[in-house]
Copies of this chain bind each other. A is one copy, B any other.
């Protein structure tokens, strides 16, 4: 996945991902993207038309990436695990940075990610007397889990390590287990996840 191996189009898209993630939509310039990708501004527009087209391409790419990660999480039956999201954090920092910014800025792709995560979360919640309905809890729980991502800059500053790296992600994943109500987690999940995180920290993770 080194940049030399990619086509110019893919390099431009990755550069745009990084720029959008770092500076936001309106703070990003086509010139900046071109410079980061090592091409001319004209080439950027040749491939993506307009700045908004470039943005849409990034959105689509991130949405597909998250869907793939989510699917693999579902296959393993661990979508509800706080550690799962931590693993996703560390899997591709540029994508996560873009997603964080897009969630705050508002974009169709980010909205889709949010909505789909709410749906997935709701499946793992059961209605219970005296509690808010499962849907509302799923919405709030999703926003809370994503909170650490959107605020990764503040979390990383306070933690002293990058949340989007293996160490930060696992520490936050672990702490999340202590902060979330146990009813939200399937039976025995906490112990299982603590094991997985320990193994992950030993370098057996992706």
Contact = CB atoms under 8 A, between A and B. Distances in A.
Nearest to A152: B143
A147 B145 CA distance: 7
A103 to B, nearest CB: 6
Given A105-B24, A114-B151, A158-B118, A178 B132 contact: yes
Given A115-B158, A154-B111, A140 B175 contact: yes
A193 interface: no
Given A154-B114, A157-B111, A175 B136 contact: yes
A92 to B, nearest CB: 19
Nearest to A131: B178
A200 interface: no
Contacts of A10: none
A55 interface: no
A139 interface: yes
A184 interface: yes
A175 B134 CA distance: 9
A44 interface: no
Interface string A108-149: 001100110010000000000001100011011101111110
Nearest to A190: B130
A200 to B, nearest CB: 15
Given A24-B26, A178-B137, A143 B147 contact: yes
Contacts of A181: 178-182
B103 A140 contact: no
A150 B148 CA distance: 10
A187 to B, nearest CB: 16
